[in-house]
Each structure stands twice: as C-alpha cells, then as structure tokens.
C-alpha cells in the first residue's frame, strides 16, 4: 500500500508515526512518502528563523509520542517529550546536523528547564529528529521517503490518487493532507488598505506568520510610528521582531524586566477589538498528566446529553463557567480563607450549582467576575488615563500569572479551561448543539474568549509589554480599534477613546490568517476545490442563513474528505488546521499524559486506512 502525507509539521509527522506503527501491527507492506518544501517540521517550525520567536507551550507539555494515557485503537509507542529530548539526545543531534544557528540552539538546549518556552526553531529540530527516529521504526515491510517539494495537485484515479509536484508524479492508494496554516486572498477591507498603501506609497503587511514578514519589516525605519493591528499571539512575535530583532535587550533589574533600546526601534501603536493583550499563561506547576477533573461536565452528564440527543449552549457553557469558578474558589480558600472548610464549600457549590448562597463567606470583591475578564476596561475609572489603567492591569496580570497554575486562584481557574477541551469537543463531535447554538456559543462567544484567557504567551512576554509601555516605545490604544485612510496616511484610534489619534505610514496586520479554505492561496487547496475533489463546510441556520465555516468538508469521525458531489473520498484525508470549524482548537500541541486529542485524531485516520 502506498500512502502519501502532504505536510510534515507536527500533524503530518504524527500521522506518519501512526501509519508506521499500524503497519508494524498489521504486517501490511507500506510505502510511506512525505512531502514538504521546508523538510520535517514544516514552515512554521523551520530551523531558519530567529530564536526570539517562541513556542507558547512549556516544553514539558509537548510531545510527538503516545504514552500509557493513550486511548486510541493503535499501538502505544513511548518516546521522549520535548523536555526529555533536551536532556537526552538533543545536543548530540544538533551538533550532528549543524544548522546555521546550531550554537544558539545548543545554548538553548543546555539552559531549558521543563517549564520554559523554547524557540520555534528548537521545536523544529525535535521534529527533524523525530523524522529520523521514524526511519528506525521501519522494517522490511515499510519504507519511508521524503520529498522536499510542494505538492501542487492531487487528482483521483480509478481506485487511487496521483500526487503532483513540479518535478514528479506519484501514485498513492491513500493521501493524508496535513496542510497547516495557509495564507489567504485579502478580504475586502484588507484589499482596500493594500490599495490605499500602494496609491500613497505606504507600507501595508497582510496577515501572516511574523517569520514570513521579517524581510518586509526591515523597511520600517527607526523612530517612526508603526501600527500593529492585533494583540494576540502573533502580536508578541511582531513586537519581538521590532525590538529584540532590532538589537534591543531585555534584562532583569531588581526583579523587574527593563528594556535597553538600540535606537533602531520604531514607535509601536497597537490595538485590537478587545483592546488588551492576551492573558499570559501562568507559571506551570502541573506535573506529568496532571489535569483538572470536572465536577459538572462529568462523563455521566455528557452521557445523559448524548442520550437526549442535544444540549443548549446556555446549559453546557453555563456549567463550563461553573467549573472555572469552582476551581477559582477552591484555590481562593487556600490563599485567603484558610479558616473555611474547602470540602464543605465544594459540596455546597456542587449542590447549589454555584448559586450565590454558596459564596456567602467570600467578600464581594473576591467573587469571580466574568464581565471584568471579558471586558477589563469596565474596571477603569473615568478620571484615569487608559495608559495608567493598562499599566496597573498588566502589573496585576503578571502577579496573578506568577502565582502559578495550581496555587494562584485566577491562573488555576483559567488553566482549567485547557483541561476541559475534550468535553467541548464531545458536544461538537456528537452534534449535541444545534447549528445556531454552536455558532452563537462556541464559535462567536467562547472560542475568542478562550483564546484571550487561556492561550496566551509566557509571563515574560507580558512583562516585556509592560516594560515597553513604561518606556513609551509601545502604546496600546484600548478596545474597539479603528484604522482610517485619510490624508495619505493611516490614522488609528480606539473607539472608546477617540480623542487619542495616531498617524502612521506603516500598518501591520499582526495576526495569522483565519482558516478560510475558500480563499486559500495554497495551490493544492485551490486545485482540490476547483476539481471538486473537495468542498467547503457550511451550516444552515434556523432562519435559512448559510454560514461558511472556512473548513474543508470532512467526515468528522475519520477525517475523510467529502467531494463536491457529496461522495466520501475514502482514500483522501484532511487533518489539523484546515478542518477548524468542524473540529475545534486544531492548532494545539499534543500534551503528554492526558490522552491528547490530536494523537487520537491521527490514530483514527490510520485505523480507517488499515481496517479497510
């Protein structure tokens, strides 16, 4: 059996590992071929990028291996987590490979602890090593080949597929697409900004990974104002590129992070719809496999929902909020109310489903405040400037994160959202929410809020913003950012504070493109849609409106692609980010010890192939 995998980032490599282990288990002859122009690790994790571009997950919580927690059908084959790799084979492998930045990578290898964030290039080296490991798992019945070329087309034959690059035509029985992030055609608003920039000879950078924008960023002169649109994870990458990448240095003085300028930095004005940078991830205190166990969204409750065939968004996400509050108050008792019985509180909170009567022993100011978390500006007083409010907010945010994700009430509560992802995936995969409810509650409300609260950068990155705001190198506008095209320049302000306006000749969309396969610039995605070998996922709402989610249409349980004609392409699979909208939170890294969803997802693809 010939199997092709297109894309060799974490998803593609995990798919390859599952195929190889299933081939060993079933003793079926397999010729496995991977395609990626950037080699193992793919584009996002390529070694050729600056070491200031970091992973957002601590390295003890990243793996490419299954372990004893794995519940998939395929074999369990253990191996080192990213942290364990730094302690064993990493240094020797990096010295053998000698990438251009190998001395920096070696230094990084020796200083990394289990709860540190490594560079993306370093994670890329782990993936390259993993590919060499996969070769050792091949026996006489299994072969592994790599083509460092982009796939331009996949076409269906009678009972197989033809995979095309610029130099070869490859025949495959099964094809797994692991395409990752893709750049898109510009939206109407983005095109207007780009056209305006061209007309007035301004600088405009469309949404993309910061590593792909570095050459363009070099055109932004020192001490000139530059506007960054977006305050999520990509924003921190652009911020690093325009500061550390310009020769500036952060150092710790008396416990505080300070920034020493190089004189080559631009003046950065940044904003977004929400108007605040993502919450930092708390200092990790969780050990291997340590995860919060729900008290409301239990297996029994979910089984009841499945039996009924539905659940409302208000009920499900209401319980999810109560889970977060339960964690918060449990930690708060330990921190501030040691005289209270934790067990008695927990029993009452569960019994009353978190009703106000269960909170009678807590001061009102200590009550969990969802409104303040969603909209921090509601805490700002009228006489206070937004800048001074922001600095106090950042100080508080850093202090809370530094308490840790088992000790700090807020940080532990927000971190529990990561441990509740499978419960969310359950109601999505089982179709328990109506299309209207999933759009309203999951995609429009919870997903952006979850990203803001629990998918943030390291604490140090937030400290860097604090230092840069204090220095005057960075200005955060506040909520409801606006960008206007007037007088041959970009004018930006926050709708809540329109009196503070800033002019610039430079505008950066500091975010990665949304998943939108219909507008993808990837030639392969465009070809699959044009040839009707794939089609787009869409939802019909109660009022007759059709919503395009951006995902490729697949069978959720197997990831098999569905054609324009509605047929299941039994040998063609799509996984990971291009399926976001059918699956949820597809970009998350696999965490060891907690039966990670992405490992199970790849195993289901392998099971479908080998069981057929």
pLDDT in tens, 4-25: 999 999 999 999 999 999 999 9
Instruction: Look at residue 382 in the predicted model and tell me its pLDDT.
Output: 87
Phi then psi for residue 325, to 5 deg, are -65, -40
Asked if 33 and 146 touch (Cβ cutoff 8 Å), the reply is: yes
Sign of the dihedral through C-alpha 442, 444, 450, 451: positive
Q: In what order do the strands lie in the sheet with 203-205?
A: 203-205, 506-509, 225-229, 267-271, 474-476
Phi then psi for residue 238, to 5 deg, are -65, -40
pLDDT in tens, 553-610: 999 999 999 999 999 999 999 999 999 999 999 999 999 999 999 999 999 999 999 9
pLDDT in tens, 183-226: 999 999 999 999 999 999 999 999 999 999 999 999 999 999 99
pLDDT band at 101 (very low <50, low <70, confident <90, very high): very high
What are the structure tokens assigned to 11, written together?
């998803």
Angle at which helices 409-419 and 447-454 pack, to 10 degrees? 130
pLDDT in tens, 303-316: 999 999 999 999 99
Query: Which residue's entry shows tokens 């490729």?
Result: 552
Task: Identify which of 517, 412, 436, 523 has the alpha carbon closest to the alpha carbon of residue 165.
Answer: 523
The answer for residues whose C-beta is within 8 angstroms of residue 523's C-beta and 6 or more apart is 150, 152, 153
Asked if 150 and 8 touch (Cβ cutoff 8 Å), the reply is: no
| Averaged confidence pLDDT in the chain | 98
Q: Return d(Cα 419, Cα 439) in angstroms, integer.
A: 22
Q: Return d(Cα 509, Cα 504) in angstroms, integer.
A: 14
pLDDT, average across residues 435-462: 98
Instruction: Look at residue 175 in the predicted model and tell me its pLDDT.
Output: 99
pLDDT at 329 over 90: yes
- Pick one of 1.10.150, 3.40.50, 3.30.70, 3.50.50 as the CATH number of 188-275+467-509: 3.50.50
Query: Considering just the CA atoms, what is the radius of gyration of the chain in Å?
Result: 25
pLDDT, average across residues 277-302: 98
Instruction: Look at residue 85 in the predicted model and tell me its pLDDT.
Output: 99
Q: Return d(Cα 241, Cα 211) in angstroms, integer.
A: 9
Instruction: Look at residue 345 in the predicted model and tell me its pLDDT.
Output: 99
- In the chain, CATH 3.50.50.60 covers 2-183+521-611
Give the DSSP H/E element, type plus range, for residue 596: none
Name the pairing type of β-strands 30-35 and 142-147. Answer: parallel
- Cβ neighbours around 184 below 10 Å, total: 22
CATH superfamily to which 2-183+521-611 belongs: FAD/NAD(P)-binding domain (3.50.50.60)
Task: Identify which of 63, 58, 139, 128 has the alpha carbon closest to the alpha carbon of residue 456.
Answer: 58
pLDDT, average across residues 530-552: 98
Task: Identify which of 85, 81, 131 has the alpha carbon closest to the alpha carbon of residue 105.
Answer: 85
Asked if 506 and 226 touch (Cβ cutoff 8 Å), the reply is: yes
pLDDT in tens, 378-434: 999 988 999 999 999 999 999 999 999 999 999 999 999 999 999 999 999 999 999
pLDDT in tens, 163-183: 999 999 999 999 999 999 999
Q: Return d(Cα 202, Cα 220) in angstroms, integer.
A: 10
- 480 half-sphere exposure, CB direction, 13 A CA radius: 8
Helical segments of 244-382, H only: 299-308, 313-336, 342-351, 370-374
pLDDT at 511 over 90: yes
Name the pairing type of β-strands 161-164 and 169-172. Answer: antiparallel
Q: Return d(Cα 4, Cα 571) in angstroms, integer.
A: 10
Query: Which residue's entry shows tokens 């065939």?
Result: 309
Task: Identify which of 233, 229, 242, 225 has the alpha carbon closest to the alpha carbon of residue 270.
Answer: 229
């Amino acid at each position: 059996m010939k199997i092709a995998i297109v894309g060799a980032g974490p998803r593609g490599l995990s798919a390859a590992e599952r195929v190889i282990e299933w081939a060993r288990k079933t003793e079926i002859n397999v010729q496995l071929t991977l395609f990626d122009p950037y080699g193992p690790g793919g584009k996002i994790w390529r070694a050729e990028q600056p070491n200031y571009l970091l992973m957002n997950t601590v390295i003890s919580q990243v793996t490419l291996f299954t372990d004893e927690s794995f519940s998939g059908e395929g074999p369990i084959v253990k191996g080192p987590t990213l942290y364990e790799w730094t302690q064993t084979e990493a240094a020797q492998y990096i010295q053998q490979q000698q990438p251009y930045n190998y001395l920096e990578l070696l230094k990084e290898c020796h200083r990394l602890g289990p709860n540190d964030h490594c560079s993306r290039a370093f994670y890329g080296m782990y993936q390259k090593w993993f590919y060499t490991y996969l070769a050792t798992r091949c026996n006489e019945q299994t072969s592994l080949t790599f083509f460092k070329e982009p796939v331009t087309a996949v076409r269906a034959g009678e009972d197989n597929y033809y995979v095309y690059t610029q130099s070869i035509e490859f025949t495959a029985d099964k094809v797994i697409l692991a395409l990752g992030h893709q750049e898109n055609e510009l939206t109407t608003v983005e095109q207007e900004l780009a056209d305006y920039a061209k007309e007035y000879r301004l600088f405009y950078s469309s949404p993309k990974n910061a590593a792909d924008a570095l050459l363009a960023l070099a055109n932004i002169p020192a001490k000139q104002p530059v506007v960054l649109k977006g305050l999520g994870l990509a924003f921190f990458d652009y911020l690093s590129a325009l500061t550390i990448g310009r020769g500036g240095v952060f150092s710790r003085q008396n416990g505080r992070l300070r920034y020493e300028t190089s004189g080559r930095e631009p003046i950065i004005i940044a904003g977004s719809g929400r108007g605040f940078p993502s919450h930092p991830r708390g200092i990790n205190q969780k050990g291997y496999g340590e995860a919060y166990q729900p008290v409301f969204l239990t297996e029994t409750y979910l089984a009841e929902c499945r039996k009924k065939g539905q659940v409302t968004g208000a009920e499900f996400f209401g319980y999810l909020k109560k889970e977060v509050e339960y964690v918060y108050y449990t930690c708060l008792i330990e921190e501030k109310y040691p005289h209270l019985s934790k067990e008695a509180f927990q029993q009452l909170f569960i019994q009353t489903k978190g009703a106000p009567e269960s909170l009678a022993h807590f001061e009102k100011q200590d009550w969990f405040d969802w409104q303040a978390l969603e909209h921090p500006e509601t805490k700002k007083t009228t006489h206070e400037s937004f800048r001074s409010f922001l600095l106090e907010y950042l100080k508080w945010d850093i202090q809370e994160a530094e308490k840790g994700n088992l000790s700090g009430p807020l940080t532990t509560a927000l971190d529990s959202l990561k441990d509740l992802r499978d419960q969310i995936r359950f109601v999505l995969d089982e179709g328990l929410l109506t299309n209207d409810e999933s759009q309203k509650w999951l995609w429009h409300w919870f997903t952006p809020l979850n990203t803001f609260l629990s998918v943030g950068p390291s604490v140090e990155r937030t400290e860097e913003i604090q230092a840069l705001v204090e220095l005057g190198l960075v200005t955060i506008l506040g909520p409801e950012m606006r960008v206007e095209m007037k007088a041959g320049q970009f004018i930006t302000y926050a709708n809540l504070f329109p009196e503070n306006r800033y002019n610039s000749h430079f505008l950066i969309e500091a975010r990665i493109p949304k998943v939108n396969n219909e507008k993808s610039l990837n030639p392969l995605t465009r070809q699959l849609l044009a040839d009707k070998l794939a089609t787009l996922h869409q939802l019909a709402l109660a009022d007759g409106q059709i919503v395009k989610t951006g995902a490729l249409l697949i069978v959720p349980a197997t990831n098999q692609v569905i054609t324009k004609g509605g047929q299941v392409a039994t040998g063609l699979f799509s996984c990971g980010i291009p399926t976001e909208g059918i699956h949820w939170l597809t970009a998350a890294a696999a965490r060891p010890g907690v039966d990670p969803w992405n490992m199970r997802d790849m195993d289901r693809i392998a099971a479908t192939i080998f069981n057929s």
